Homo-oligomer: A and B are copies of this chain.
Amino acid sequence: MFLNCYEAGLAFVERLHAKPKVAARATRSPQDPRRVKIVATACHAPPNVETSVELAPKVGRSEDWILSRTGIRARRIADEPVEVLAARAARAALASGPAPDLILNASTTARQLIPDTSVFIQEQLGFEGIPSFSIHATCLSFLVALNTAASLVVSGAYRRVLVVSAELGSKARNPREPESAALLGDGAAAAIVEATPEDEASELLGWRMTTWPKGAELSELPGGGMRRHPNDPATRPEDNLFTMKGPKLFKMARQRVADLVGDLLDQCGLRIEEIDLVVPHQASGPALEALPKLGFPPERIVNIIADYGNCIAASIPMALAHADQAGRLRRGDRVLLLGTGAGLSIAGALLRW
């Protein structure tokens, strides 16, 4: 999203100078902050690299075409099942700490329909008895799961939640649609959410999400469910692959993203320059390049798209783990996790790290 979205920047700047408007019905302020802390992050990138040079002939486009449209030089292609990728990231995040008391799989590409993938992740981790389930909100699954984990933890339902996203996006690529096929890659990442110790300041400062069903057909995988059942002879192979109408999606998203960011900042009583780091969904190169037009300085935006592509729900936690490893997440910093997903959905979580 945000494909060359100069207008989004304009709309946002205009908004910042406009009188505050009444918040939309669907975006009432939650009673944040919630005192939770991401105590660990980790990611796993499958070792097999597919460069855009290698991909080019498979999608009938040149490397330059791919680079100019997506900003992606390479993506990873997994040769392991999705639950194994998930477990690699989860194991690294759990490290030598205690077992989680909830395993929350936050991913789009499942291992199979029944049981849900969280069960197989638990199996890979060698645990048993730990409650497990899956959250699905496409590219926003990790953010939704983070918000969910925050509420589960502050309400006392669980104490140490493993949130893990793992995606085999490469299996959803349609070579006849190079624009989207060149975007998708494989990867996994995890985060551990706990209550903030009394003498620390970490918290979820604010959360905001909106979903706009008018955008459903702009980004979809029509198969994989009951509508175009795999056993239905009318289901075509391309129904089981991802398809996207990028420009229309951008047009629909731009003002709504600007509104959501504005609402979230208003809700938290913060100005855009008070955000220390933005960890966006790695939708595409142009999407990431558009973020500075919303007012975020480029050096404060985590950008790993060139090397990993769009890993669906795993993109945000992969970028978060990269920032963590690079020392870009300092306790006390204000960190904005922001993304768009199929729906069209838009979400932002503002953390005091």
Contact = CB atoms under 8 A, between A and B. Distances in A.
Contact of A155 (B24, B34, B223, B347): B34
Nearest to A238: B231
A114 B120 CA distance: 22
Contacts of A228: 112
Contact of A230 (B138, B159, B211, B224): B224
Given A108-B113, A114-B221, A223-B112, A131 B30 contact: no
A129 B212 CA distance: 5
B119 A342 contact: yes
Contact of A25 (B34, B129, B342): B129
Interface in A210-258: 210-214, 216, 219-231, 235, 237, 240-242
A223 to B, nearest CB: 6
Contacts of A214: 123, 128
A114, A122, A137: most-surrounded residue (chain B CB, <10 A): A114
Given A132-B343, A133-B137, A229-B240, 5 more contacts: A34-B155, A118-B137, A119-B345, A157-B207, A230-B235
Interface of A: 24-28, 30-32, 34, 81-82, 99, 101, 103, 108-120, 122-123, 127-138, 140-141, 144, 147-148, 150-152, 154-159, 168, 171, 207, 209-214, 216, 219-231, 235, 237, 240-242, 341-343, 345, 347
